[in-house]
Amino acid sequence: MGRVIYKVLATVAGLIGGMIAGAIFKAVWKHLPGQDQAPKATDEDATWRELLPAAALQGAISAGVRATVQRGGATGVRRLTGTWPA
């Protein structure tokens, strides 16, 4: 039962976490000097020097949010069911 609850919560939380991570990345990127929007990998005019730091920052923020959401979900399931989801 705990696994089923965790899977449902993890799916919903993952979607919400993805939106939160995207918003955090955009907010952080706007605070960098001279940067309005992050370059896209498919932007022909973007250089590797612009793309790689943006991708690294976005990945770090996404991983941090994902870990927070997963840990929170597992903790919530343990509180509800008494067992840690595997």
Within-domain flag for 45: yes
Residue 42's pLDDT is: 94
Within-domain flag for 76: yes
Per-residue model confidence as pLDDT tens for the chain (86 residues):
667 777 887 888 889 999 999 999 999 999 888 778 899 999 999 899 989 999 999 999 999 999 998 898 888 888 888 888 87
Within-domain flag for 60: yes
Within-domain flag for 69: yes
Show Cβ contacts of residue 39 under 8 Å, excluding neighbours closer than 6 positions. 46, 50, 51, 54
Within-domain flag for 13: yes
Residue 35's pLDDT is: 75
Give the count of domains, the chain. 1
What pTM was estimated for this model as a whole?
A: 0.81
Residue 3's pLDDT is: 73
- The residue segments making up the domain with residue 54 are 2-81
